[in-house]
Every structure is written in C-alpha cells, then in structure tokens.
C-alpha cells in the first residue's frame, strides 16, 4: 500500500531540485457504464538532486491509470507504474 512508501517518497522529493516527467499514452478507452477513462502507456523520468549541478539521473517504465472526469479536468482514481 502507498501509505507504507510515503516516508520514502517524502525523503526523495525533499532532496530533488528538478524533475522532468513525461507520460506517453499508448492506448485509452472510456467505460460507458462509469465514464471512467482507462489509459496505458510509458513514462520517462529525469531528476537532479540539490547540489548535483547538472548531473541528471534517468529512469523509465510502464504506467496505467484510471481517470475520473471532474468539471474541466480529471482526477486520478487508480495509478500503477513500474520501472524497467
């Protein structure tokens, strides 16, 4: 569960100076009965920690999510990702 990883996420974000995050959707669909939008694709992530100057680290992987339409935006109902 996410709450068990929360301390690790907080520590990581406290030490990061810059993040570049790109999601490339590969397929998506809308469930007619719920209106939820399901998306699957890949992501790439680059980050630089405080004090590292221009020393960027990189990672990539797959991502899927379920979105709920809310007014003129979307909320994330479910999010799954894994690193290569």
Q: What is the reported pLDDT for 81?
A: 94
C-alpha radius of gyration, the chain, whole number = 16
Please report which confidence band the pLDDT of residue 57 belongs to, taking 50, 70 and 90 as the band edges.
very high
pTM: 0.81
Distance from C-alpha of 5 to C-alpha of 71, rounded to nearest angstrom: 31
Residue 56, C-beta contacts closer than 8 angstroms, at least 6 positions apart:
46, 47, 48
Q: What is the reported pLDDT for 52?
A: 80
pLDDT exceeds 80 at position 1: no
């Amino acid at each position: 569960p996410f709450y068990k990883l929360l301390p690790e996420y907080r520590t990581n974000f406290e030490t990061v100076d810059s993040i570049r995050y790109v999601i490339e959707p590969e397929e998506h669909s809308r469930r007619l009965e719920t209106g939820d939008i399901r998306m699957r694709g890949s992501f790439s992530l680059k980050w630089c920690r405080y004090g590292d100057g221009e020393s960027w680290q990189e990672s990539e992987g797959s991502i899927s999510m379920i979105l709920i339409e809310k007014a003129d935006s979307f909320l994330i109902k479910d999010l799954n990702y894994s690193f290569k």
